[in-house]
Amino acid sequence: MAKDPVRVLVTGAAGQIGYALVPMIARGIMLGADQPVILHMLDIAPAAEALNGVKMELVDAAFPLLKGVVATTDVVEACTGVNIAVMVGGFPRKEGMERKDVMSKNVSIYKSQASALEKHAAANCKVLVVANPANTNALILKEFAPSIPEKNITCLTRLDHNRALGQISERLNVQVSDVKNVIIWGNHSSTQYPDVNHATVKTPAGEKPVRELVSDDQWLNSEFIAVVQQRGAAIIKARKFSSALSAASSACDHIRDWVLGTPEGTWVSMGVYSDGSYNVPSGLIYSFPVTCKNGEWCIVQGLSIDEYSRNKLDLTAKELSEEKDLAYSCLS
């Protein structure tokens, strides 16, 4: 029997990531090849014509799984009945703007969209925040949508996770699908900690630790970390725009694994509400290793953390606490 369609909201749908993401969702890459979808696309009034153009292209692409498209600048219409919300819309940093100015614009957007989601989304709607500062926007959304379960509000660090897999695969000249269990800890920013201490590679002789296969500790402890931390900036430098196809693809990975589950023995990185695991302060949206089953994520427990890693986990937590304070000062 055919499944009922799932309603998926994409905010900022006329932007770069939106343009890459909506066809992926309509093709079944996010929710599976047997899952019909109805796309809800939100953007702001100046982008209304472009948004309508995206809608026209979705119709023209004749996606079999796409059962409807709502393209709107009305946040209530956009949020009504949605089961999944991918929050990409936001205010980009412009020349001469201070960090606080960008934060201020974005946290007030996320505060008001939190209320719309809380009132109008389907019960148990799952939320993924992509727009930067992703962790702090997600935290503000959580704080101003108190009736949405905190487990349902997450942010994207899967792109960083995938970047880490990509770097290891290039270095070892192995298939990226044979590398697993890297971890991104903390903020989606240059203080994030890409950790390979528990990562493995599938080889003909079984699974081997990345640290055994990459004998160059110096590369793993410095260049690898810096490349992953700085990859977003490197893409902006090369393309003059921030990452879009990789961000869209990683957003699909994040939701697919959350909804359909992670493979046995594999974890992924998600920005989730901290419960104090690994002595990360609770009350932050922080990226942890998680496994997913039956539509729920669960932080992987019991991993050993050496002193070097501990300092890195604490540093990125400190940045997130500062961002949280800044966000609240912008709202007051």
Binding-site residue numbers for substrate are 93, 99, 132, 163
181 binds, among ligand LMR, ligand NAD, none (CB under 5 to 8 A by kind): none
Choose the stretch contacting ligand NAD; rule: CB under 6 A; options: 24-32, 84-92, 282-290, 297-305: 84-92
Structure tokens that stand for 177 in this block: 């699908």
Type of residue at 55: K
28 binds, among ligand LMR, ligand NAD, none (CB under 5 to 8 A by kind): none
Tell me the C-alpha distance between 283 and 143, whole Å: 10
273 binds ligand NAD (CB under 6 A): no
Q: How far is the CB of 85 from ligand LMR (least distance, A)?
A: 19
What are residue 332's DSSP bridge partners?
Answer: none
Q: Of the two residues 235 and 260, which places its CB atom closer to ligand LMR in the complex? A: 235
Angle at 253 between CA 159 and CA 8, to 5 degrees: 115
138 binds ligand NAD (CB under 6 A): no
Structure tokens that stand for 196 in this block: 């390979």
23 binds ligand NAD (CB under 6 A): no
330 binds ligand NAD (CB under 6 A): no
Inter-residue contact 64 to 27 (CB < 8 Å): no
| Dihedral sign (CA 272, 104, 109, 233) | negative
CB atoms within 10 A of CB 71: 22
Which among 40, 161, 188, 254 is annotated as catalytic? Answer: 188
Tell me the C-alpha distance between 90 and 99, whole Å: 14
Binding residues for NAD(+): 12-18, 43, 106, 130-132
Side-chain half-sphere exposure of 20, counting CA atoms within 13 A = 14
39 binds, among ligand LMR, ligand NAD, none (CB under 5 to 8 A by kind): none
Is 188 in the active site? Answer: yes
Q: Of the two residues 113 and 250, which places its CB atom closer to ligand LMR in the complex? A: 250
Inter-residue contact 135 to 284 (CB < 8 Å): yes
Instruction: Give me the residues that bind ligand NAD (CB under 6 A), please.
Output: 11-12, 14-18, 42-44, 47, 88-92, 109, 130-132, 134, 156, 159, 188, 242-244, 247
| Residues known to be catalytic | 188
